[in-house]
Amino acid sequence: MPSTDPAASRACRVRVRGVHKAYRMGARDVHALRGVDLDIEGPGFHAIMGPSGSGKSTLLHLLAGLDAADKGEIEVGGASLAGLSEHELTLHRRRRSGVVFQGFNLLPTLNALENVTLPATLDGRAHADAAPRAEELLRELGLGDRMDHRPDALSGGEQQRVAIARALLQEPPVLLADEPTGNLDSQTSDRLWRLLAEIAGHRNMLVLMVTHEPHAAVHCSQVHVLQDGRVAGSLSVDAMDPSQLAVRVADTLRASR
Ligand code: ADP
């Protein structure tokens, strides 16, 4: 069902200003992000692309509140992440942004339904309260007959759909996905990209996906290209095929060097 809550649609926003992030490696700092500026006003399906090591995952981790920026401002889903404590960042992850990873990150001892209700139960809600919505989501994602299966009894595509249901449970305005199809075959990947596009459209959400795959990014409306820890440019994906998109991304990278 499309969200009719105007507040939810207002919060479909990611705003990044002057963000820097370095990692300490022995005696030296690796500068993963060197002043990222990015404004995305949702709802919609957006991609972050760029060469390996350009800072895509680091940026996504900061947006998810999994790590803190050294400098700069980050606002996700209407909330500023600057200066939040660990506990507050945890609440942000549970309530304002859903995150989907390449490795699915499901708990092996819990079945699909329990995995989906986990963020709610960690947030203090009873499993029984969260279960009806979780069951509805699993059914919507085509997993109605898989609810009591543990992850090892599910295919990769099914596991990723469980992870998506888990990310959607708290109805966050922003869904973040880091190479969500990295472990899936091409047919399953294609179904998943279509599903993410559908989620953005039908649920009035901002879905932001890190990918190196032009085949994935053609499902998006906009691609934001990272290079050397900065945004090199953003481009609209308008009826492009993957090879045209790859050329446009390469052009964007070349122009910003
Ligand atoms: P991408 O996702 O575009 O491949 P990353 O964000 O993973 O890029 O990495 C950006 C840079 O930061 C790379 O040089 C990478 O080696 C470095 N980096 C990322 N995470 C860490 C870490 N935990 N410790 C040290 N260096 C890291």
| Distance between CA atoms of residues 135 and 137, nearest Å | 5
> How far, in Å, CA of 118 to CA of 138, rounded?
14
Which residues, other chains included, contact 149 with Cβ-Cβ below 8 Å and sequence gap of 6+?
A: 111, 112, 158
55 in ligand 1 pocket by Cβ < 6 Å?
Answer: yes
Query: pLDDT, tens digit, for every residue of 74-129?
Result: 999 888 998 888 888 888 887 778 899 999 999 999 999 999 999 899 888 888 99
CA of 178 relative to ligand 1 center, distance in Å: 13
Concatenating the DSSP letter of every residue in 81-115 gives -TT--HHHHHHHHHHTEEEEETT----TTS-HHHH
161 within 8 A of 83, measured Cβ to Cβ = no
The model's pLDDT over 150-163, given as tens digits with 9 standing for 90+, comes to 999 999 999 999 99
Q: What is the pLDDT of residue 82?
A: 82
> What pLDDT is recorded for position 238?
85
Q: Is 52 touching ligand 1 by the criterion CB < 6 Å?
A: yes
32 strand-pairing partners: none
Going by DSSP bridges, is the β-strand pair 71-76/13-25 parallel, antiparallel, or unpaired? antiparallel
Average pLDDT of the segment spanning 26-48:
95
**Which atom belonging to ligand 1 lies closest to the Cα atom of 55?**
6
| Spatial CB neighbours of 243, under 8 Å, sequence gap ≥ 6 | 214
- Nearest CA residue ID for atom 14, ligand 1: 53
Residue range 139-145: mean pLDDT, rounded? 95
**For the CA of 50, the nearest atom of ligand 1:** 3
C-alpha 219/C-alpha 193 separation (Å) is 7
Mutate to test the pocket of ligand 1, among 30, 59, 208, 211 (most ligand atoms within 8 A of CB): 30
